[in-house]
Amino acid sequence: MAGRRGRRLALSIGLPEDALTGGARVTLTGRGAALVEGQHGVIELGTQRIRLRTSDGVLTVAGEGLRLRELSFDAALIAGDPLLGVTYGRADGLGAGR
């Protein structure tokens, strides 16, 4: 179930919208860590920018001293000092975060 209908259903029954739509979930812990669940691969890995492929497009985490602390099949834990922003770009890699 995808799209607007899936989002409405998830929200109406009290679930986060990614529970039914398969979207990525980003959890920030202070200014020092981001857990990205639902990622589908690393596109770019640097100390100032990490870009991950998601079903919603390319997710970019910007910051200083970034490092990929953990990477599993569908989740990534990114640490930095500090994290400066999280943005989405288009699935083709163009747009925000480039």
pLDDT band of residue 23 (cuts 50, 70, 90) is confident
Q: Give the whole-angstrom CA distance, residue 88 versus residue 72.
A: 21
Inform me whether the pLDDT recorded for 1 exceeds 50: no
Q: Give the whole-angstrom CA distance, residue 66 versus residue 61.
A: 9
Q: Give the whole-angstrom CA distance, residue 39 versus residue 44.
A: 13
At 11 the pLDDT is 66
Inform me whether the pLDDT recorded for 13 exceeds 80: no
pLDDT digits (tens, 9 = 90+) for 39-80: 999 999 999 999 999 988 999 999 999 999 999 999 999 999
Q: Which residues partner with 78 through β-bridges?
A: 34, 68
Phi, psi at residue 4, to the nearest 5°?
A: -60, -40
Can you give the pTM of this predicted structure?
Answer: 0.76
